[in-house]
Structure 1
Amino acid sequence: MARQGLLLILLLLVVTIPRGQKKPKQADYKSIYHYAEELYRSGSATSTSDSLAIVAYHRVVQILSALPENDTILFDSYVKAAILEMTYRRDTAALLHFAASINVVKQKSHLPDSLLFQPYLYAGSIHYSLFNFDSSLYYYRQAENIVNKYPSIAESERLYNKLGVLFFETGDYRKSIVYFEKALSIVEAQSPADISFIVNYKNNIASALRKLRRYPEALNIYKSLITFGYNVEELHHNIGVCYLDAGDAKQAIKFLGRVEYSNEVKYNDLASAYIQLNKLDSATYFLQKAFDVYQKTSSNQKTKDYGITLKYEGDLLMAKHLPKQALQKYHSSIIQLDPDFNDPVAEHNPASFYGLHNSFLLFNTIKAKADAFAQLFAQTKDKQQLSSALDTYSSALALANHVEKMYRSDESKLFLEQNVSVAYKEAVKTAIQLFELTKDRLYLKKAFNIAENSKASVLQTDLHDLELNNIIGLPPKLIRDQNQLKANISKLNFQISQTTDTIAIEKLQNDLRDLEIQFSRLQDKLDNEPAYYQLKFTNKEVNIDTLQQKVLAKDEALISYYYYGNQLLCFYITREDFGYAGSNTTKNLFDNIVSLRRQLNGLETTDKKLVLNVSTDLYNNILRPVLPHISGKKRLLVIPYNELSYIPFEALAPTDNERPLLYKFAVSYNYSANFLSTNDNEKSKYETLAIAPFTLDSRNESLPRLSHSLQEVAGLKGKILIDKEATKQQFLKFYDQFPVIHLATHARANDSVPLQSYIEFFATKPLNDTSHRLYEPEIYHLDMKKTQLVILSACETGSGQLINEEGIISLSRAFSYAGCKSVITSLWKADDAATAFIINRVHHYLQKGLPKNEALQKAKIDYLENNEIDARFKTPDYWAHLVLIGNDEPIARGYYTFYLVIAITIIIVSVMVVRKSRTK
């Protein structure tokens, strides 16, 4: 070592002592540069030789900085010195050198900008290792710009893999797969292909699938890669973690035992497995070993692995019922995992979030800390602990809300929502507990807000994004490109869902991957627009006072449902009051919902007595507790939750002999109170685009004639398209020109593959052609912000796949996504004649200027009270399928307002005349 130190000192003297020349000569730096290159490329490099190389490169930089030539060598010296600094984790020095190399290229116009790829790529990697994920993404995007300009540039696959790793780390697993697959496609196209790279990238894909809980797929990939003989221990490790995530701790330990290397990650995973098995001594042993590894390599920088160790120590203490000690561990873990949080006080939490984070890991740790506070309250009954629990849950949910806005795809947002639903429930439960203990109504408002934020949050985010496109000053081309990419991505997703040919699917998936990468780049450009970014990350949260003072009418009540554990909550809001009614959820409640749905959907032969009994049970369970608080109101806005979305509340009745709720309230529905706004819609001339493709016999037996559909649209003002005129092309031509759209046609809801749900139009091509169908993804990308009402009298347009927290993913929801203010939709396949009668009357009342919910209420009552309709056809399965979702305001100003004003004027004048005559 002494000899090596002496050599280093001598070299320093050689390269730094001036030789008495006024200007350095080319020979001064060329020999030094060649010497540095020999050391850099040596197959037997050591820390000493690397240090000598760094010094030599520094000397070259010093000389060339004063010369006007050989900029390529100057650039190369900066880059090589930076790479060597990276090797020894001297990150600050490396970043300075990379920045200098980038500056050289930007200042020297004769140097090709392709040189920038490597410093951008490596600078991004350094920032990633420092948890500076936003800076990392910036440099990776700069490198990606170079790749787009020079597609054949070397190491482009490394860039896409690193982007995949970045998105994996920040929790957007679906997007990470897109980038891993892009990297894999580049390597597989090379000849010969590098097998080690293929194994690495497929391993990354499997890990992302594992995080998405697609465990069988992940395991198949991991196990298939072992045969190649590369990274076998890492693959065994990942297989073990896959079993661990799937809840099979024994299998996890089996595969982790095959891993010979010893690092913090392995010990953390073993500790987690033993905690799952409740073998706490073994867990303690491995956590100590993880901590020992950390101490050997510890620095002042925050590290994810140590954060995980601390988190598992907290889990271990919770398993021992020691929440107070667990709190400290969780809090220390949060400090390690959040680059912006350093507060040592356990009662404090990250209050706001910016940019990219270790999303799920940080979220799970904050939630675990909240759970510890809740358990501590259960032990001590100290209300302050419960208050701290609510604050901590709120911090976790703020992170989830931030991350949801960072994600680009609905699939990623839905996956996130499923992972945070438990935290929403615990937060609502805690807020209700605090309200019961303190009677402080702020906690009740907090519970309501949290519950509403949890509902349809993906749709909330999507509609918020729709608003962002109207920001003044945004580059129009960015918005056009964004909309076009969204439409093309939806189109490819649909084509993949329709294709069975393996080769064709692979090509479509490759095209889809490239489009998603383009979309990701474009979205980053939009996020760089200050006004766009600020509004995007501004939370739109309902305010109780605003609802009471500006949104709800005097005759209107809002009820919103939520449940957790065995507790069913029904929040109620009127202009005068706000509160909640609670009851217990039982298996019988959900059995009744399923039973009613099956009966009304015609999935079984309708048992009318059973329908009445079930309706009465549901009425008593979910409506009776809240009715005393909303008495005297005429209109009812219902915000259901999960399975309750299947219930047509209008059909529920207190007893067999009493009238259903329809007679008491004009009912409308919404996805969340956060969708409500002040009712300031301008009244318009009542004109309708009405489409009825099947008024005559159809050539297709699976699409029978809707003989009464002509009755639905007859006499309407606007544009009426019947039979051959009722094509998809005509709809797309005129849909944005009318305030009301009425589709009297067939539709199909596909619960298992929502992308294949569609609305039928007249088919001008052979029967096996599907171009006449309007599929759900196409609806999502229509611009319907000016549309006030869509009437979907087609069958089961309100039916679809139920996703926890998000609600029913249906055709009607697609119109809401497109910006339509309200939809009248059908929950199940219903009688054509009954539907035609009700919808015809709906138009009648809407034209008079009635609110939409009242128009639908009166239309249904007209049906039930019409003496010409047989009593057999007046059961709920005939009339209750049509529901209104969204804004309930009138569309037309209507004549009734005019006559009402005249009547009031006449009354006032008459009273004045009478009083005057009496006075005389």
Structure 2
Amino acid sequence: MKKRFVEVCNCPIIRSIYCCVFFVFFQSFLALGVGAIENRPTANDSIQAIAYNRKGIAAARLGDFEKARDYFERMKACRIRQYGSDSYRLGSSIINIGIQNKNLGNYDAAIENYLEAERLYVNHYSSEYPRLGFVYGNLSTIYKIRGDYLKAYEYNQNAFRLLSKDLKHYSRVADQARSSLAESLLNLKRYDEAIRICQEGLNKTDLDIRSYNLSLLAQIYWKRGEIETADKYYKETFDLLKNTDEGNQYDLGLELVDYVKFLLSAKKYEEVPHYNELSREAIRRYFTERSTQYANVMLNYADYYASRSSEASHLADFNRKRAEDLKLALTYYQKALIAATGTFTATDPFENPEIKQAISELQLLEILKKKSQCHTALGDLLKTGSQKQEAVRHYQAGLEAVELAVELVHQIRTGFVSEESRLFLSENQQSTFVGAINLCYKLYQQTGKPEYVARGFELTEKSKSASFLAAVKDSRAQQFGGIPDSLLNKEDVLKINISNYKQMLYEEKQQAEPDSEKVALYNTKIFYYSEKYAQLVQLLEDSFPKYYAFKYANEVIGLDAIRDRIGNHDAIVEYFIDEPDEQEDSGSLFRFVITNEQFSFSKTPIDSTFSNRIEGVYQFLTSSSYQYTDQKSYADYAWSSYCLYNDLLGDVQDELEGKTLVVIPDDKLSYIPFDALIYEEPDTSRMNFRNLAYLIKKHSISYTYSTTLLFDYFDKEQRAEKSLLAFAPSYEKDDRDYTVVAEYRAGLLPLLAVDKEVEYINEYVQGDLYEDSLAQEAVFKKYARDYDVLHLAMHTIVNDTLPMYSRLAFSKPTANTDEDGWLNTSEIYNMQLNARMAVLSACNTGSGKLQKGEGVMSLARGFLYAGCPSIVMTLWEVEDESGANIMRDFYKYLSVGKDKAEALRLAKLAHIENADPLKAHPHFWLAYVAVGNTSPLYVGKEMYWLGALALVLVMLIVVDQMRRKRRKTQD
């Protein structure tokens, strides 16, 4: 089967249903069948349509996609004259137009084409019409090209599901769709599932499908690091393609390009030149030198020269040859950029294209990152050779390239609708930010210019909780974008439906024997509502320019703005970690320290010891055997904590003296409360937790996900009408089904001190308390937005696999409610809160999955997103009585005007001072942390006295002035 116009993405063999000529023939056959020749108004239109269709197919075979699109447009015009503009018979020509737009890189236009075809089919048939599988398959390809692999997978699933409804007509295409599902799973790194599908595909008699699955198996084993197995499957793919017809030589060319990438990653450099030439020759047979396919060939040449080892007899000769290779690599990276863009022509490797010139955003992103790495390597080489000025020039060029890559990451991310897709991108693009921040540090070291500190800090901010920031920005953009309430309400309904069905699907899949009908139904519903939601978002972006501008702005707070707004006694300490991995023994810890007087930017080498210390401290603090701590465990904790302090803050302790610390952690640091760090060398000759030099004894400490979120989004002056809403549920005689989470299959144990906790709180802050069976989820949802402070003392069930389904456990629902007593994170995201603070007490509300680039995916994020700018949460389960006392003292200090971080600090210090030797253990008091805005909630009595004193002084001044004036008048 000849396939001359398949893909414009980076995949090696694309034999899917989406864009093969088979599909064009098939669509044409259906369009020209019996149904298509009925009710013809003129014979000429029908004849012309057939002729245009034939010419379009021929042009597409040759790769002339513009001409093919023109012919299919003419075919569509004939069909409109025959059947009208709303006829389902237009579907095949519209899809073929979309395929040509996709091949030309006009992805937005292609999506519009596919959605138009979908509308025609659904209106005439239903949403279950099998031929919609072609539409969804094509849409899957677009989202795959754009890097939204989750969205691509969803469309792929539905394409396969619908085509499978009519295997009599679509058996072969359904097989192709199923193989494409394996490719989607590969992109999502779900390798075991992908292998299972591919192995089944090898049993098919169709050579095209077999070769597709062989190719996918090669890629899967490559990504899994099983080099020899991957090589075996690549060779089998070559053998199969060489024995098929001429058309598959096109696929062989794409496969050769991918094989070169594989050889480079496996460091088999001696084989690369041969296969590089073969791939170049094959690709040039079918594509021009301004195509993404040719760009991949140039990229392989560049990678070869950038990574191969140079042979030399002495160091100077090695450096010279290495520099020549890197400069040659830069010329090929530039050629790759020219090939991968529409109009960029600059051959100077110090110039870059504009983002809008990209054919494929993902490919441009890859080339820019590698070009930046090459400039960096050349800069490092020249610097050691005392060519400092030239080294700085290459560092600057590398920074410009990688900053453009960062903008591309932002553009790609904001184009994603789902939170899951954004998170996946954040995790996979963390290396982009590592390279950018490292270059800023190198330039700062070489030049001493503060501008590189500022640029490094802004890049760090862009790397922090970017998905969360994008979601918060989107919510804020809706408020100020002029969007009518009717559309916002429609969005809310769609989001709630998506959330509900995802929850139902998750729970069904946890059953020992999931109901396949329910699973299929829930998947269909999720797909339906997700598609409607994506179309609504597109409508909002197209129709409301203010919303679009606000949402897509990639602005983060800068150093100057922070120093203008930060308090005199505050210091921000922000970290970025390039963690050591299996391939590299060392990594880097970057740190920014900012006060209103000065700033610093540092880099510290780290290795596995650093990670081990974090892990050791965390395990010690959270261990359930804290009551049996021995001398060795005590000493290990104290020394690890002291060493961590020196790694993190030791060299800046003088400039932080007397400051309140706002910490923006990164990676595994997110699990460690900095209060636990010990700032003086510990005496471990005997065990005494009370006397350790905890950092909390010197500083109030709070946390935030990013400085931008803290200053620009976690700020709320307006307070709700009512003061405090507190919940303390009881789980006695609670026979709800807990089997979803193994840890709780025996039921939730009662929290013995939560009633006491909320009653303590009410002594200092008056409010409404719901205890025991009255602590209902329905009550919370109904009244939460009316209160200034929300206090929830209850169990939390953390879901590390799907963080959006971590949940707060309210009391067992009463009979007259539709609620289930579980408040999921996804439900909190859909709420609108007016509270200035939420306290999530008793259990591990601050724990969760650690997501690269995002931090810990805890339940607390939902409250921040819902509009609550300040959270007090627990990082692990707290012993009841100690937790109740800490909360009592926390509210006591809050009520007299202390800010939240200082109130929490004083409450912890009070616990340490009054605790017996056992309960001085950090496990009892360190779990509570303050996140977000820590401003005081209440005015303390001392402020009233100061106000009264100021009033008296003003009155005295006024009286004195009046007396002076009277004397002057008398004189």
TM above 0.5? yes
Q: 1:877 aligns with which of 900, 923, 926?
A: 923
**Alignment partner of 2:181: what SS?**
helix
**Equivalence for 1:792:** 840
Residues 1:118 and 1:752: Cα distance change in structure 2 (over 3 Å): closer
Cα deviation code 1:236-273 (max 9, x no counterpart): 22222332333333323322222333332122123223
Q: Which residue of 2 aligns with 1:743?
A: 792
1:239 pairs with 2:217 = yes
Does the 8 Å CA contact 2:83/2:89 hold for their aligned counterparts?
no
| More divergent stretch after superposition (69-78 vs 217-226) | 69-78
Looking at structure 1, the residues matched to 864 and 25 of structure 2 have their Cα atoms a distance apart, in angstroms, of 61
Report the Cα distance in structure 1 between the residues aligned to 2:911 and 2:96, rounded to whole angstroms. 71
Q: Deviations over 1:352-402 (max 9, x none)?
A: 448x96343332221111111111112222211111111111121111111
How many Å separate the matches in 2 of 1:82 and 1:324? 44
Structure-1 separation of matches of 2:57 and 2:711:
56
CA RMSD in angstroms, aligned pairs only? 3.3
Distance in 2 (alpha carbons) for counterparts of 1:582 and 1:314? 30
Would the aligned equivalents of 1:72 and 1:111 in 2 still touch at CA under 8 Å? no
What is the CA–CA distance in structure 1 between the aligned matches of 2:149 and 2:297, rounded to whole Å?
23
Q: Using the TM superposition, give the Cα deviation of residue 752 of structure 1 relative to its aligned residue in structure 2, in angstroms.
A: 4.0
Residues 835 and 324 of structure 1: CA distance in aligned 2, closer, same or farther (over 3 Å): same
What is the CA distance between 1:671 and its match in structure 2? Answer: 0.7
Change (3 A) 1:317 1:146: same
SS in 1 for 2:850: strand
Question: 1:513 Cα shift?
Answer: 2.6
User: Counterpart in 1 of 2:654?
Assistant: 628
* Code of the aligned partner of 1:591: N
- What is the CA–CA distance in structure 2 between the aligned matches of 1:89 and 1:270, rounded to whole Å? 24
SS at match of 2:773: helix
Structure 2 distance, partners of 1:351, 1:84, is: 34
The alignment status of 1:225 with 2:201, answered yes or no, reads yes
Structure 1 residues 841-897: Cα deviation after superposition (integer angstroms, max 9, x where no partner): 32233333432222222332333345xx53532332222211110111223445543
Give 3-state SS (helix, strand or coil) of 1:470's partner.
Answer: helix
- Out of 264, 268, 281, which is 2:257 matched to? 268
Partner of 1:209: 185
Q: Provide the rounded CA distance (Å) in 2 between the counterparts of 1:113 and 1:198.
A: 26
| Residues 1:81 and 1:742: Cα distance change in structure 2 (over 3 Å) | same
- Specify the SS of the correspondent of 1:638: strand
Rounded to whole Å, the distance in 2 between the matches of 1:566 and 1:82 is: 55
Counterpart of 1:667, as a letter, is I
* Contact persistence 1:686–1:717 (CA under 8 A): no
What is the Cα deviation at residue 696 of structure 1?
A: 8.1
Counterpart residue number, 1:254: 232
Partner residue in 1 for 2:87: 113
For residue 527 of structure 1, report the CA deviation from its aligned partner.
Answer: 2.7
**Per-residue deviation at 1:722?**
1.6
What secondary structure, in the 3-state scheme, does the structure 1 residue paired with 2:429 have?
Answer: helix
Alignment match of 2:749 (pick from 700, 703, 715): 703
Judged with a 3 Å threshold, the aligned counterparts in structure 2 of structure 1 residues 328 and 729 are, in CA distance, closer, same or farther, namely same
Higher mean C-alpha deviation, range 607-616 or range 516-525: 607-616
- CA distance in 2 between partners of 1:343 and 1:686 (Å): 63
What residue in structure 2 maps to residue 516 of structure 1?
530
Shift of 1:103: 5.4
In 2: Cα distance, 1:160 partner to 1:834 partner:
56
CA distance in 2 between partners of 1:855 and 1:455 (Å): 27
Matches within 5 A, 1:531-680: 531-550=546-565, 552-564=566-578, 565-605=586-626, 607=629, 608-633=634-659, 635-655=660-680, 656=682, 657=691, 659-677=693-711
Correspondence 1:285 to 2:274:
yes
Kindly indicate whether the alpha-carbon contact (under 8 Å) linking 2:778 and 2:819 is maintained by their aligned counterparts in 1: no
What are the within-5 Å matches in structure 2 for residues 73-112 of structure 1? 82-100=56-74, 102=76, 112=86
Structure 2 residue 361 is the aligned partner of structure 1 residue 312: no
Task: Kindly indicate whether the alpha-carbon contact (under 8 Å) linking 2:871 and 2:931 is maintained by their aligned counterparts in 1.
Answer: yes
Q: Contact 1:650–1:662 at 8 Å: present in 2 too?
A: yes
Choose from 893, 899, 908 the match for 2:945: 899
What TM-score, normalized to structure 1? 0.86
Q: CA deviation at 1:73?
A: 6.3
How many Å apart are 1:108 and its aligned residue? 8.7
Task: Report the 3-state secondary structure (helix = DSSP H, G, I; strand = E; otherwise coil) of the residue aligned with 1:793.
Answer: strand
Note the C-alpha offset of 1:570.
2.3
- The match for 1:299 among 279, 283, 288 is 288
CA contact (8 A) 2:805 2:825 kept: yes
Alignment of 1:69-218 (within 5 A): 82-100=56-74, 102=76, 112-151=86-125, 155-190=131-166, 192=168, 194-218=170-194
Counterpart CA distance in 2 for 1:187 and 1:741 is 50
Instruction: Give the deviation of 1:409 after TM superposition.
Output: 1.9
Q: Deviations over 1:641-691 (max 9, x none)?
A: 111111111232323446422232221100111212268632546701111
Query: 3-state SS of the aligned residue for 1:190?
Result: helix
In structure 1, the gaps of 5 or more residues are: 1-39, 46-52, 54-63
Partner Cα separation in structure 2 for residue 844 and residue 482 of structure 1:
41
Query: Given the alignment, which residue of 515, 520, 524 partners 1:506?
Result: 520
Shift of 1:204: 0.8
How much has 1:135 moved relative to structure 2? 1.9
Q: Tell me, what secondary structure is at the counterpart of 2:918?
A: helix
Match of 2:856 among 808, 820, 838: 808
Residue 478 (structure 1) aligned with residue 456 (structure 2): no
Task: Tell me the distance in 2 between the aligned counterparts of 1:695 and 1:555.
Answer: 44
TM-aligned CA distance change 1:777 to 1:286, over 3 Å: same
CA distance in 2, matches of 1:773, 1:111: 49
Letter in 2 for 1:593: I
Number of residue pairs the alignment of both structures matches: 850
2: CA distance, partners of 1:796 / 1:333:
49
The residue aligned with 2:398 is 389
Q: Structure 1 residues 583, 292: closer, same or farther in 2, change over 3 A?
A: closer
Instruction: Give deviations 1:746-770, integer Å, cap 9, x for gaps.
Output: 222233443442111111369xx99
* Separation of aligned partners in 1, 2:341 and 2:147: 14
Secondary structure at the counterpart of residue 328 of structure 1: helix
Relative to structure 1, the CA distance from residue 479 to residue 711 in structure 2 (aligned partners, 3 Å threshold; closer, same or farther) is: same
Contact between 1:711 and 1:836, CA under 8 Å: does it hold in 2? Answer: no
Q: 1: distance between equivalents of 2:343 and 2:539?
A: 24
Q: Please tell me whether the aligned partners of residues 249 and 274 of structure 1 are also in contact (alpha carbons under 8 angstroms).
A: no
Residue 461 (str. 1) matches residue 470 (str. 2): yes
Hey, what's the Cα distance between the residues in 2 that align with 1:266 and 1:111?
A: 41
Flag structure 2 segments of 5+ consecutive residues without an equivalent: 1-23, 33-39, 243-248, 309-321, 384-390, 579-585, 683-690, 736-745
CA contact 2:804–2:859 (8 Å) conserved in 1: no
Q: Which residue is equivalent to 2:21?
A: none
Shift of 1:796: 0.6
Deviation at 1:416, TM superposition (A): 1.4
Cα shift readout 1:460-511 (whole Å, capped 9, x = no counterpart): 1111121122234324343223222222222222222222214133332233
SS in 1 for 2:844: coil
Question: Tell me, what secondary structure is at the counterpart of 1:194?
Answer: helix
Shift of 1:205: 0.8
- Please say if residues 727 and 758 of structure 2, whose CA atoms lie closer than 8 Å, have aligned partners that are also in contact: no
Alpha-carbon separation, structure 2, partners of 1:567 and 1:835: 37
1:774 aligns with 2:823: yes
Give yes or no for contact 2:569–2:658 (8 Å, CA) kept in 1: yes
Question: SS in structure 1 opposite 2:654?
Answer: helix
Preserved CA contact (<8 Å) 1:695 1:710: no
Q: Report percent identity of matched pairs.
A: 24
Preserved contact between residue 758 and residue 769 of structure 2 (Cα < 8 Å): no
Q: Is the 8 A contact 1:78 1:98 kept in 2?
A: yes
Structure 2 CA distance for aligned equivalents of residues 589 and 912 of structure 1: 63
The change in CA–CA distance for 1:233 and 1:617 in structure 2 (over 3 A counts) is closer
